[in-house]
Amino acid sequence: MRIHNLYTDDKGESHFRDIEVEWIEERRGSKLSKKLPATGVIFRETQAEHNVDWHPAPRRQYIVNLDAGVKITASDGESRFIAAGDVILVEDTTGKGHLSDHVENKIRHSLFIPIE
C-alpha cells in the first residue's frame, strides 16, 4: 500500500515522495501495519469550487479523501492528484507550502488524522 507524503526540505521547498506501508501481521485474509500514533480525527467538507493558494499544512496529519479528489502542487512544481480513497501524509508545516485545487467539481469529504 502506497501513501503520498508531502514534506519540506531544509531550504523551505515542499516535495512529494511515496511511503510504502510495511505489513507486520497477516490474519484472516488481511494484512496489518503496526499501530501508528494519532491524536484524533477531524471530519471535513470542502466546497466543490474550493481552491487554496500557497499555504503550509497546519499540522502533521494524514488526510484521507473519501469521495472526491484534489490536485496538490508542491513548491518544487510537482503536482499530484490525490484521489478518493488515497491517503496523504502532509508534513510541509513550514516553508512555502503547497497549492490545493479542486478538479472534479464535487463536494469533497475527507478525514484529517493529526499525528502530533
Whole-model pTM: value is 0.93
Separation of alpha carbons 36 and 21, rounded Å: 11
**Whether 44 contacts 26, CB under 8 Å:** no
Predicted pLDDT at 16: 98
- Percent of the chain topping pLDDT 70: 100
C-alpha cell at 39: 491524536
83: closest CA among 106, 59, 61, 115? 106
Other C-beta atoms lying within 10 Å of the C-beta of residue 56: 19
Question: How many CB atoms lie under 10 A from the CB of residue 9?
Answer: 12
Write down the pLDDT at residue 49.
Answer: 86
Summarize pLDDT for 49-62 with one digit per residue, the tens.
888 999 999 999 99
Assign domain 2-22+40-114 to its CATH superfamily.
Jelly Rolls (2.60.120.10)
The arithmetic mean of pLDDT across residues 30-44, rounded, is 96
